[in-house]
Structure 1
Amino acid sequence: MSNEVTHHPTAGRKLPEWIADAVIYQIYPQSYADSNADGIGDLPGITGRLDYLQWLGVNTVWLNPCFVSEFGDAGYDVADYLTIAPRYGTNEDFERLIEAARARGIRVMLDLVAGHTSHLHPWFTQSADDPSDNRYIWSGSVHAPVRSWIPSPGRRPGYYLANFYPIQPALNFGYARMNPAEPWRQPVDAPGPRANRAALREIMAYWFDRGVAGFRVDMAYSLVKDDPDHTATAALWGEMRAWIEREYPDRALLSEWGDPKTSVPAGIHVDFFLHFVGRALRSLWDNTQGSHAAHWGSDPCYFAPEGEGSMKEFLASWREADAAIDGAGHIALPTANHDFSRLACGTRTRAMTAPAFAFLLTWPTLPVIYYGDEIGMRYVPGLPDKEGSQLNDETRQGSRTPMQWDGTANAGFSAAPPDRLYLPIDPDEDRPTVAAQRDDEHALLNQVRKLIALRAEHPALGPAGSVQVLHTGYPFVYLRGGSHLVVVNPRREAARFTLPGTAAASEPRPRALAGYGVRVAGAEVEADGFSYGVFEL
């Protein structure tokens, strides 16, 4: 296979310098650390765990929504974008978190729910009483899909469009196409859409001024309606990018779009490969098992003990996106998130997760670690619905269980009685904890820590270095920057590969930097089951 080389930033687009070195850690606030024994994680609890994140090597933290909400959708139903929800603390607690994180070299990103609000937000209650207020999408009649149109709760007649749950009315950013049969559609430059774009800037500016490094943008692709090629949506984010570059040039947007080849050229700084757009991430680790849409299919993924997957689909998607981005931003790869099952799920055990982390932290993308994945926390099946986590075939609560800190009561998450916890602790007696793994140099936690340190120490392993794929089967073998060899075998069975002449000719023998179970002798590579190796040539 020919060399695949990541590109340098192009002229006209400015990237904050810190982004390329970002190791992002996602925290689901209600499940991370409870400081006041009410059973729900909070901001002071996160502040108290910053030393752990600094020790791990994390330099960027992304928090799921922590604003005022009725929590019908775990905080993605925002009722006040400028106020911290009391269950998490106060705005002053958040500012203390920012300062404590900054002192440890850690940036904090918030979650921006841009496409909808709670039905309790003052914007919506006003719009529901005032037919001239078009901050939301209103119609005098119901349209397809019928379940998305909800009767007005106020004096205004008609129906409003919901983005996800009925309690989440869609903000009006206009329609890309007009339709005479639907006269309620408004263009993107109508007063309502203009007011909402201004509101997004005001929200971001408020938190930027308090030290926030950026936002992960929820459903970033969904703002402009009936926009099949996303041209109008891209124009909106291009406008936001230009404003950020002018007013806050060291801040960044990380989007839930799932299509980097479209979103990054549009103006987003970093976008994920995600499951609901293509199969780029599902072909790596299928996090849909047990926690998301069954109709997405169940084709074998590469990082699974059965060893029936392939890297080819991921590589094709990555090359296409990398070429389209052309240095204007980055692709992010997550281990999991609050909507999908964890790396350890079903047949995928903790033994498989170390090779997955080796790939994640040596591939030219930005790594995003979901809290607890660094110790091998598993997706816990069979839990009750919590704050809208259960919808049809989506059972997301299994990925939202409390962080497992130690062997004390409630795994060190909270001093509350077990029946008051946000979600139950994983009942497995063999559940992993930070305390048990921290002093074990061979444990997953210390392997992840070492890989993060290697990425920082060796620029060839970061997003700017070239990558040459030598083998797409088992093991997966590639060169970074022409100077580092990476071998990853996530299947149960051992695997072998013969290096091509150019790679095998390097002398002396490659120096092992990290890993276990991989041996390189001359041109021959032998990889035990569930193994990985990072070598300096």
Structure 2
Amino acid sequence: MSDTLWWQHGIVYQIYPRSFQDSNGDGIGDLEGIRRRLDHLAWLGVDALWISPIYPSPMADFGYDIADYCGISPIFGTLADFDRLLEEAHARGLKVILDFVPNHTSDQHPWFRESRASRHNPKRDWYLWRDPAADGGPPNNWLANFGGSGWTFDEATGQYYYHAFLKEQPDLNWRNPEVRRAMLDVLRFWLGRGVDGFRVDVIWLLIKDEQFRDNPPNLAWQPHQAGIDRLLQRYSADRPEIHDVVTEMRGVLDAYPERLLIGEIYLPLERLVAYYGRDMRGAHLPFNFQLVFAAWNAREIARVVAEYEAALPEGGWPNWVLSNHDQKRIATRVGAAGARLAAMLLLTLRGTPTLYYGDELGLENVPIAPDRVQDPWEKNEPGLGFGRDPARTPMPWDGSAKAGFTTGEPWLPINPDHAARNVAGLARDERSILTLYRRLIALRQGRRALGVGRYEEAHVEGDVFAYSRHAEGEAPLLVALNFGKAPQRVALPEGVRLLLSTGLDRREGPFDGLLGPEEGVIVELS
């Protein structure tokens, strides 16, 4: 696949650093822990690791409130530790992607401390400050994503500042050229150290309405939904000017060879694809979360895939995501058998897949007792199920008491089934979901049809979604996925050859077309 870029034929593996591997016994994962586990990623066969934020931070939102964009939090290690990790990852052929969080800083960042020092401070306009409304309240009705108003009053200077998330996370003013220059220099700092790309946090929020107009009400809002959804984010998100910012970021990366720009974007499909940019000068991969929210049945999944493929602009490379640090794990959403089916779907669709750590083990959300809750969203809006801790729990490496993750007290509980569900045990099991992931990845890397080939929908019949992948010079492959709880027969031409089944209980060879409940297969067509 030498005629494609690494991120087109590669697989991205997301690491939540607090939970991957602890090396010093404090119960929190760190960079040295990631370095020690690089062999797992190489063995699994992925191509890149994306590390969630590791910068100095008061940890009000666990690293998404950054106090220094060009450093490493002591919790995770040092710049020397990062450089060593980067060097050893590259030695194994692994790319390294960092989280870039440009929408907001910590309220402890030196920039914000200067900004709030006085109305006349040179950095005042680096953030979004506004006078109170006529009644003394917030300047407008914008809400925060984690509950409550998006505005906090500063007694010392008599103005409000805006924060799309916690009050400890004031939003930067991306209309200010000095802010843009400073943040683009952050990208250059890490690119100069050898980082291979960035996943840009909440990229669609960076520019706000210049007039700070009220957001309109969402008439479809229901009480079980998050408070932020009471309003349509018309003026506080996805403003037209954002695309100029994304193009500037892309321009910085393009000055370095083969660097990758990923954008986190929770928007309807027709607005999501706009982030590829004019003439493909935006994000290389605007994250596609369609599978995260789709109903789990053949017809709906087929519709999602078809609509996404049709919406892609010419030259736009697709990508797929099943889980991440903000969403329920795929095994929790679809069950154990469904998680195996999802693995085959993720790794056989056209485009770049992103795999969330622990999903290769079929790890489910871990229940968190009220006294162990860490996530500020859960604390601000309790009882609504928005807590993200259950999907951020430690990686179970073995069946020991603390799962090989730490010698101390883990910062979040370990999965209660870790004695059976762990890397060491599942690696020895020839039919485990971990073995399935490894075999799927090996098959994908060995077949151009799966890695970069053409996608063609075959049919949806009952509970079965089937599609084919094609590459010049190779036999075409058919993927058939039975989303139902009963066996289903697929009509196939003569002479098809089974390559892999999700149950790993069939031998490679002739295939009669009968799929078991929630079984998927990859077959080679003659």
TM-score interval (norm. to shorter): 0.7 to 0.9
Query: Are residues 1:149 and 2:151 paired?
Result: yes
- Kept in 1, the 8 Å contact 2:142–2:150? The answer is yes
Query: Are residues 1:282 and 2:293 paired?
Result: yes
Which residue, out of 311, 315, 319, partners 2:305?
Answer: 315
- Which AA in structure 2 matches 1:68? P
User: CA, structure 1 residues 472+225, in 2 after alignment: closer, same or farther (shift >3 Å)?
Assistant: farther
How far did residue 52 of structure 1 move?
0.9
How far did residue 493 of structure 1 move?
2.0
User: CA, structure 1 residues 366+473, in 2 after alignment: closer, same or farther (shift >3 Å)?
Assistant: farther
- Which AA in structure 2 matches 1:263? Y
Q: Which runs of 5+ in 1 are unaligned?
A: 1-14, 175-192, 284-299
- Which AA in structure 1 matches 2:256? Y
What SS does the corresponding residue of 1:498 show, helix, strand or coil?
A: coil
TM-score by length of 1: 0.82
- Map Cα deviations across residues 57-115 of structure 1 (whole Å, 9 max, x no partner): 01100011010001110110001111100010001000000001001000111101110
- Map Cα deviations across residues 479-509 of structure 1 (whole Å, 9 max, x no partner): 101701111124332222324xxxx2xx533
- Kept in 2, the 8 Å contact 1:112–1:216? The answer is yes
- Kept in 1, the 8 Å contact 2:162–2:170? The answer is yes
RMSD in angstroms over aligned alpha carbons? 2.4
- Which AA in structure 1 matches 2:323? A
Which residue, out of 233, 250, 259, partners 1:241?
Answer: 250
- Which AA in structure 2 matches 1:89? G
What SS does the corresponding residue of 1:254 show, helix, strand or coil?
A: strand
- Which AA in structure 1 matches 2:286? D
Show the counterpart of 1:287. Answer: none
Query: Are residues 1:301 and 2:296 paired?
Result: yes
- Per mean C-alpha deviation after superposition, the further-off stretch among 50-59 and 455-464 is 455-464
1:16-415 to structure 2, matched below 5 A, reads: 17-132=5-120, 133-141=124-132, 142=138, 143-145=140-142, 147-152=149-154, 155-174=156-175, 193-226=176-209, 230-245=239-254, 247-258=255-266, 259=269, 260-266=272-278, 267-274=282-289, 281-283=292-294, 300-302=295-297, 310-322=300-312, 324=313, 326-328=314-316, 330-345=317-332, 348-383=334-369, 384-390=372-378, 391-392=380-381, 393=384, 394-415=386-407
Whole-Å Cα distance in 2 between the matches of residues 255 and 438 of structure 1? 33
- Kept in 1, the 8 Å contact 2:499–2:509? The answer is no
- Kept in 2, the 8 Å contact 1:280–1:318? The answer is no
User: CA, structure 1 residues 521+34, in 2 after alignment: closer, same or farther (shift >3 Å)?
Assistant: closer
What SS does the corresponding residue of 1:110 show, helix, strand or coil?
A: strand
- Map Cα deviations across residues 129-174 of structure 1 (whole Å, 9 max, x no partner): 1324200000011221361111126x43311001111111011123
How far did residue 244 of structure 1 move?
2.1
- Which AA in structure 2 matches 1:264? Y
Show the counterpart of 1:288. Answer: none
- Which AA in structure 1 matches 2:264? E
Whole-Å Cα distance in 2 between the matches of residues 125 and 472 of structure 1? 60
Q: Percent of aligned pairs with the same residue? A: 35
How far did residue 474 of structure 1 move?
1.8
- Map Cα deviations across residues 226-273 of structure 1 (whole Å, 9 max, x no partner): 36764211121112212322x213211111014541111350011222
User: CA, structure 1 residues 244+431, in 2 after alignment: closer, same or farther (shift >3 Å)?
Assistant: same
How far did residue 214 of structure 1 move?
0.6
Whole-Å Cα distance in 2 between the matches of residues 389 and 455 of structure 1? 38
Whole-Å Cα distance in 1 between the matches of residues 511 and 392 of structure 2? 45
Query: Are residues 1:433 and 2:419 paired?
Result: no
- Which AA in structure 2 matches 1:156? T
- Map Cα deviations across residues 504-533 of structure 1 (whole Å, 9 max, x no partner): 2xx533342454478999996221012111
How far did residue 389 of structure 1 move?
4.9
Whole-Å Cα distance in 1 between the matches of residues 506 and 178 of structure 2? 58
Show the counterpart of 1:424. Answer: 413
User: CA, structure 1 residues 414+429, in 2 after alignment: closer, same or farther (shift >3 Å)?
Assistant: closer
User: CA, structure 1 residues 532+149, in 2 after alignment: closer, same or farther (shift >3 Å)?
Assistant: same
- Kept in 1, the 8 Å contact 2:339–2:362? The answer is yes
Q: Which has the higher contact order (CA 8 A, sep 6+)?
A: 1
Whole-Å Cα distance in 1 between the matches of residues 238 and 64 of structure 2? 26
- Kept in 1, the 8 Å contact 2:318–2:352? The answer is yes
- Kept in 2, the 8 Å contact 1:405–1:412? The answer is yes
What SS does the corresponding residue of 2:33 show, helix, strand or coil?
A: helix
What SS does the corresponding residue of 1:80 show, helix, strand or coil?
A: coil
Whole-Å Cα distance in 1 between the matches of residues 10 and 185 of structure 2? 26
Query: Are residues 1:471 and 2:460 paired?
Result: yes
Whole-Å Cα distance in 1 between the matches of residues 432 and 54 of structure 2? 32
- Kept in 2, the 8 Å contact 1:74–1:389? The answer is no
Q: Give the length in aligned residue pairs.
A: 465
